[in-house]
Amino acid sequence: QSTIETHLTFFVEKGKLDINKLLSPEKQKAIEKELAADHHNSLSEVKNALGDDYSYGEIKMMLAWQKHPAA
C-alpha cells in the first residue's frame, strides 16, 4: 500500500474525506460484495477475488468508510 493511500484511508476513516471522491460506485459495490462474503478469511482473499483492477489500498479505504459512523 502506498503512503498516499495510507493517508487517504486515514482521512476516510475520520470522516474528513468522502469515499465517493476516491472510488467509483461500481468499485465500491464490488468491494462491499466481497467484504460481505462469508468465505473470505483475509484481505488477500478479498483482493484475489476482486482481481488486479483493485488495490489493497482501495479495499482498505472501503473498510475505513464502513467503520465511519456516517457510512
Give the whole-angstrom CA distance, residue 63 versus residue 14. Answer: 12
> What is the residue range of 54's domain?
3-67
Q: 2-52 pLDDT, tens per residue?
A: 899 999 999 999 999 999 999 999 999 999 999 999 888 899 999 999 999
What residue type is assigned to position 70 of the chain?
A
pLDDT at 1: 60
Element (H, E) at 46: helix 43-50
Which grid coordinates are listed for 38?
Answer: 462469508
Global confidence as pTM: 0.88
Provide the domain count of the chain: 1
